[in-house]
Structure formats: C-alpha cells, structure tokens
Chains A and B, each alone.
Chain A
Amino acid sequence: MPAEMENSSSVTLAAAAASGEASATSSASQMPPPPPLTTTTTTAKKKRNLPGMPDPDAEVIALSPKTLMATNRFVCEICNKGFQRDQNLQLHRRGHNLPWKLRQRTNKEVRKRVYVCPEASCVHHDPSRALGDLTGIKKHFCRKHGEKKWKCDKCAKKYAVLSDWKAHLKTCGTREYRCDCGTLFSRRDSFITHRAFCDALAEESNKSVQTVVVAETKSSEDQKMQTVQTVGALSSSPPPPPPPPPPACSVISALLPVQNTEMLKNQPLNADDMQPSNACANAISSSSSNGSSSNSMCTSVFSSPSVGAPLQPQTTAYSDLICAMARTECQTSSIAAASVTEPTFLRLSPSNGFTLFGMTAQDERHYVRPSQPAMSATALLQKAAQMGAAASGASLLRGFGISLTTSPDQQESLQGNHNAEGDSVNPAAAGIGLGCASDGGARLTELMTGPSSLFGSKPATLDFLGLGMAVGSTSTGGLSALISSMDGAGRLDIGTALDRRNLDD
C-alpha cells in the first residue's frame, strides 16, 4: 500500500457528524444534494463496523494521472508477470517459492484512505466525494477520463478498462430481453422498438396524458418531501421505521424507506457510496414527481399480469433514472456504470404489485381493473434500472463483505472486488433483495449462502415487503451471474449479472 502512494499527497478529511447535519439541511432545501448523504453514510458505517475505534478521519489521497494509469508496476523477476499491487506480487512470488511477505495489518492501525480523482472537473475531485479504494479510483479514472480503446466487435461498444471489455464480451449478444407479450429478443434495439409498438404500451394511451399533468402539479412538493425523508432516515441512527409513503408516489416511495434503512445497515466504508444514495434519492424524487404518470404508463407497458416481464433496465427504467438525475453530478458515472454492467435478465411479475405495493390511493385506481397488472411494474422497472446501474457496485455485497468477513486479508480482497467500480453504486439493490453475483469465489459464496443471517438483522424491512429470499451464486471466472429469487407476497424474480470485480492480477 505505501508503494502506491509515492506521489500522493494526503489530506485529512473530517468526515464526521458535522457534515451529516449540513447534508440534512441542504438536501431538504434543494434538488441535487448528493454529497452530504454520502458523508453521512460513510460516517455511520464506519462507526458501526469499527466499534470502539472511532477514527472519523479519512486520509484523502490524490494520485497523479500517471500513477492511476500505470498498470502492473510490480513485476515478478522470475516470469515477468506484472501486478498492480505489491501484495499481489507477493502472493505470486509465493508460487515461485521466493521469499514473500504480506503486510500484516491490524484493524487498530488502519486508517481509512479515500482517493480523489485528479481531474479537476470531475465530481470525485472533491474530497467529499472521494472514492473508497485504490482499484476504484483507478478504474474510475480510466473509464471516465481515459481513452476507450477496447471495442466490442459485435456491438461496437467501447471500453476504457480491459476487464470491462472482457466482461462485456462474455455477455454481448447472449442477453435476452423478453417483452411481457412473450416475445424474446436477443438484440437490445429490437427490443426497444418492439416495446414501443407492443400492445402492452398502448393500452392506456388515452390516460397517460392526463395523469402526467395531474402528477406534475404535485411534483415539487413531493420531491421535497421525499428528500427530507431520505435525509431523515439516513441521519438518525438507528433508523426509524419506514415512514408511510406520500400518496402521489407509488412503489418507489414505498420502497424508499427500505432503501434507506438498508443503506444504514450496510453502511459502506467508502465515501463513494454516497453516490448510490444520491442516485437513489434522485430516482425517488423523480418517481414521486411523476408518480402517477409513470404508474399508468408502466402499467400499460407491462400489462399482462400473468407473464413475467423481463426488463431491460437500461432501456427504459434506466433511462428514467438517468433523466431523473439529469442535473445531478452523479449522472455520468451512473450511466457509465450501467453501461458497463447490465443485468442479464430481469423478470418481474407485475401482478404482484398489488400485494407488494398496493398501498396508495393512486394505485388503487389501477388495481380495480383486474386485467391491468398493478402499477408496481413501473416502479420495478425503475428499480430495475437502478439495479442495473448499481450492479457494478453492489453495495449490498460490499457492506456484507466488509462486515462479515473476519480475516483482514479476506476483507481486503473482498473490498477490492466489490469496490472496484467505486464510483457508482446503488444500495437500492439491497432494498428489495437483489442478489448479486460476483467472482469473489468461495469467500463470497460463503457469504451468500447464509442469506438468513445476512438479512436477519433487518426483519422489519424485509417483512415490510414480504419478501423471502433465496440466493444462489456461481463463482466461476469472469462474469458470473447470480439469480436471486424472492418468493413472498409477490413473486419477484430478479436476475442480475454483476460485472466482475476483480483484483487486478
């Protein structure tokens, strides 16, 4: 680790309760208030995970672009294999029967380090938005400010990070998109075109315009409300029970508290986790501002209750999300994250929305009509989009990984795995029990095979949704997909491919 910091300057960031307060006020008053949320999250997480060691000061490290772009600086003198980290080289040397030493570190001595992006125009240039680990900042810098020199032959997508490109190659063309009319698509644009013309979309065509108008009159109020709620939930610890959703916002608002509590419980160590919370808050406010319209729209889009409606989140809901965040700083990174890792297959059963989310007056209007799936499909779509954006970060896993692993080494590597895409994460996944796959291998599998213990700590949250959870995982190389299915009041199957988060060797 010290080796990494040759040309780094370090600053101390007081990421403490003070900023948490500031966040509460600022986010209540204006629309894009992302940073405070993060800070709060970080602080709380730290306190929770490292009890008795209240070290709120994180060291902010600014690495030069050159350092960030440097690859495999640690070269094995035997086989010339290069590594990005000395630790990894040491492990490798062990294989040659060479002397090796791993840094031993004890929790007591560890001082949390966060990394800022050298690009002055980047949101992560600000220490308050620093990213939580070295791999994360490197990939961030490469993705956002580096040349995209890796190009997929099949679909012409370009990537700056080789591992992103490799991960994409494994899924490119294999993804399936299924419209709820039953048609399967292997190509995204065919799917998009089909969706626009599918009957499911048209059924409520007359209704939409009116509802949009109605919804928009409420938007600003609701937005504020939502934001306040979000902040409130975050800043109080332990988290209060989920507040009842305001009438105009449907599913998302219902889920909101859940997300928040999840975030609190899994408080990631890293400052970059703030991003997810921002995204989350923004998505929420957008959904509330547009609650009824998206409602009816989604209802119509996924109109057949009996059929699963696999989504392509980055198409629809994802776009919604992006729109919602249009003016926030986290937009770019979210987009990029989503484009890097896209859920393979997402199946939603809209009909479940009734029991799951049918709690607002607005929604009841839809439920009355048996042929219409409850509105939840919309919200789930948006949810799915968030997950799509979030999959790369998998804050859920990160949180668990950090809090549940005992060995420091494991902890570090897990963190490396899951924080790799440090700059865009969405905790929402946790909220509805998204299962994530990772190549973390055995360690991760261990983590994931005990879902009950993972989730046992928040019965209130899960019961609120009435979701049971089953998690399975594959841990082969490259990208692994994990499908978590939740059976509860509503059967909700969500499969998500999670981009591989790997150590750099």
Chain B
Amino acid sequence: MDATLHTPKLQHLIYCNQTLILGNGEAHITTMPNNNNIIHSNDQSSLTSSTSHSSESNDPFSTGKWASKLLRECAKAIADKDSSKFHHLLWMLNELASPYGDCDQKLASYFLQALFSKATDSGNRCYKTLTSVVERNHCFETARKVILKFQEVSPWTTFGHVASNGAILEALEGETKLHIIDISNTFCTQWPTLLEALATRNDETPHLNLTVVATPAMERSVMKEIGQRMEKFAGLMRVPFEFHLVTGLARLGELTKEELGVREGEAIAVNCIGALRRIDVDKRVDAIRMLCGLKPKVVTIVEEEADFTSSRDDYVKCFEECLRFYTLFFEMLEESFAPTSNERLALERECGRSIVNVLACDNEEGEGEEGEESDRREKGTQWCEKMKESFTPIGYSDDVIDDVKALLKRYRSGWSLLPAQGENNEVGLYLAWKEEPVVWTSAWKP
C-alpha cells in the first residue's frame, strides 16, 4: 500500500490527462485504480502539453510533488498575467485536485481555489462565502471535536499551550489574584490543565479572572458556551474563577483596561496564541504597545513559523512561502490523522480559507470589515523585532522545557524541539516537524 500511495500521483496526472480529453475527469479521479505500474513522466512536459501523456524522466524528485510544480507554475503565470497559460493550468489543476485525495491532491485543491480567486479577482467574495459557510456550520460540537482531536494526534497546538501555561504559572507564582487575558485561537482548550495546576498549587488556590478577547464570529458561535464550561470546570477544581468575554480582536490596539476588566492588584498574564497574525499587519505594533500598557507579568506569544508579510508585494515569493508552509502542514496532518478523518478535513478546509485570505484577498486596501481577519503570519524573528520594542524576553525554565519535551515524546516521531539559536536576536522555542521549525513560542515581560 505504501508503494501505491507514493506512486499513483503521476498516474493520476496521466490518467486525468486522458480522462480530461474524454471530458469526464472528476468522476474518475476519486476512483483511480492504484496499480503499481507507473510510467515515469516529466510533470513539466505533461503540463505544458496536455496531450503528451508521458515522457520519460529520470528526475526522482519530480515524481513526488506534482502539485507544487503545477501550482507554482500557475502562480507565476498569474503574476505574469499570462492568461492563456494560467487558464490552462487552472483547468489542469481542476482536473487533478481533490479535497478528498492524497496530500498533493488536497494541496492542489485548496491552492487552486485561491489561485482561481486571484485570477478572477474574486478573492474577497470567495473568502466571505467560505467564512459564512464556516460560521453557519461552526458550533461548539464540531469545534470541540476538531480541536481536541488535533491536540490528541499532534503537538502542533499543545506545544504552545504547555510552554505558555508553564511560563504563565511560573510568572504568576505566589500571586493570589490572577488575570489572564487570553487573546488566542485556542478556544480555551489550554486552560483546563492550567486550572488543574492552580488547584494543586502548594499555596492557597488563587483567584483567576479569565478574559477572552474574541472575534464577533467566535463569540456568536462558541465562546459563550465555552465560557460556561470553563466556569463549571473551575468550580469542579475549586478554583475561584471569573470568565469574561470581550469582542474586538480586530481593534486590539485600541482596547482599554476598562474594557478588559483590569483591576487593581491583579497579576496579569497576556496569552497570545495565533492571535497577533489575525491583527491587521499595520496595527500589530499598536496592539503590542497596548499589551505593554497593561503591565503584565508575562506575555506569551505563539505563532506559526511562516512569513506571509514581508513578501506581500511579491506574489510569487509569497505564494512559495505559503505553499511551503501548507505543504508541511498538510503532510503533518496526513501522518497524524487517519485518512478518512473528518477532523482532518475540517482543519484542511480551514487552511483553504486561510490560503484564500493570504493569496487572493486584497486586504491591503480593504477597510478591515468587521470579522475580516488577517492571516498574514510572521516568523519568530519578525515577531521578536516587534516585541522587543516594548518587551524583554523571558527564557523558559528547565522545568518548562522538560514538560515540552515530555509532551513531544507522546506523539509520533517527527517532532522535535529547537531552541532559538540566538541569531538575529531571536528568542523562544521552536516546534519542529521533520527538522523544519513550524511553531514558535516565546514569553515576554515589559
């Protein structure tokens, strides 16, 4: 089976080229026969001349990643405004791609969506449609399933939770009134273990005020429900607890202490997981300054390691980075989840929406409509630069690092911990997937 998993990609291509001629492509793609009899073909040639079924190629690297080649080609054609070429490529991709196929087919499918939107200048509309679909289907039930399952099979998110919780617990050690301002996309899934840790703390159990800064969409769908559950769970743990919900992630930089419910005598921790990237690129520094104004004991930042910002103006470059990142992510999902997992599909769809946002949406000129989020990630070093204007880094203690290492051991192989090298003034820790840094976590104080 393994062999067939790797090999049929070319067959798909070839087969599709045939069926494409027959005008009956879609139906056949999913029922592709998986025999091992491969014809080595040069992707490039089969792309450029759709009628050539195959041409012999000895390039071993060409067999794996047909999707990325096609997609790159297409992105370049779009950037070059070579309409006949990109039309042709889009057509090709449409025949090959499937959100239910293998990794290449999935990537092709979601990137095609973005490229098509870009080519037809319909990115914003597409994004809006996808968002409304997500919101309509988004409920506590599904969100919970997806998030918890993901945590179960991959440290992608739990890595940041463990590191952040560790840093927060250490920074708030001995304090009796805690206020955690949670600006994150984690739907509070990192807090039960923290509550448990507080409950078993040696000294008196502190009072915890948890303020979640959410988007209106998050609030509408699930956050109220989640808030109730947090209250319930804190009660079970006997941790004195308050839960507050503040909407206004988009205007994070403008939020005031009053809005955030900051009170005298509270030890504040700000938890930003996957949050800063959702703020408009130009407002990020303001947001960070605002956080500094809260005088927190600790700010934890977790972001995925990709740069969709500095190359904003170079479409092909940005596309390459986006493709690189999501290829890693999709491969990680493929190895972590069962092939038919609905949770995996949901995560991939979410990526698809994000890819449209990054590659097809014109949110430079957009006035930042309500609910519209940025997805322009930045790398750890870039965040470091921004953070260092207001904050100084806190190193993780050995205990926290041990906890993270122990966490990684529970998952399949392929995960590792990379301490920041200290080059380019970078700080923090990286989660690496097959040696590639994918998630960056760090802790800061004013």
Contact = CB atoms under 8 A, between A and B. Distances in A.
Interface of A: 151-156, 173, 187, 189-190, 192-197, 201-202, 205, 208-209, 212, 290, 293-294, 297-298, 300-301, 314-316, 318-320, 322-324, 326-327, 331-332, 335
A202 B409 contact: no
A322 B200 contact: yes
A192 B237 CA distance: 11
Contact of A316 (B193, B237, B410): B237
A202 B402 CA distance: 33
A189 B191 CA distance: 11
B199 interface: yes
Nearest to A335: B200
Query: Secondary structure at chain A's binding surface: helix, strand, loop or mixed?
Result: helix
Contact of A293 (B235, B405, B406, B410): B235
Nearest to B205: A323
A332 B202 contact: yes
Given A154-B409, A196-B192, A297 B199 contact: no
A196 B204 contact: no
- The 3 A-B pairs of least Cβ separation, nearest first, read A196-B192, A156-B406, A319-B199
Q: Identify which of B148, B152, B232 gathers the most chain A CB atoms within 10 Å of its CB.
A: B232
Interface in B380-434: 399, 402-403, 405-406, 409-410
A318 B200 CA distance: 8
Interface stretch (B63-71, B223-231, B285-293): B223-231
A195 B192 contact: yes
A202 B229 CA distance: 6
Contacts, number: 99
Contact of A192 (B188, B196, B238): B196
A202 B237 contact: no
B235 A193 contact: no
A300 B205 CA distance: 23
A193 B231 contact: no
A202 to B, nearest CB: 5
B196 A315 contact: yes
A155 B205 CA distance: 24
B403 A196 contact: no
B402 A156 contact: yes
Given A156-B406, A202-B232, A323 B189 contact: no
Contacts of A331: 202
B415 to A, nearest CB: 15
A197 B202 contact: no
A190 B152 contact: yes
B148 A156 contact: no
Contact of B232 (A300, A314, A332): A300
B144 interface: yes
A301 B236 contact: yes
Contact of B193 (A193, A290, A323): A193
Interface in B202-238: 202, 204-205, 225-226, 228-233, 235-238
B231 A201 contact: no
Contacts of A335: 200, 202
B151 interface: yes
B204 A193 contact: no
B233 A196 contact: yes
Contacts of A193: 148, 151, 189, 192-193
A202 B225 CA distance: 9
A155 B195 CA distance: 19
Contact of A322 (B199, B228, B399): B199
A14 B199 CA distance: 38
Nearest to A331: B202
Contact of B233 (A173, A201, A293): A201
Contact of A197 (B229, B236, B405): B229
B168 to A, nearest CB: 15
A323 B406 contact: no
A315 B238 CA distance: 12
Contact of A153 (B225, B232, B409): B409
A316 B236 contact: yes
Nearest to B236: A297
A373 B344 CA distance: 34
Contacts of A327: 204
Contacts of B202: 331-332, 335
Interface string B134-169: 000000000010001001100000100000000000
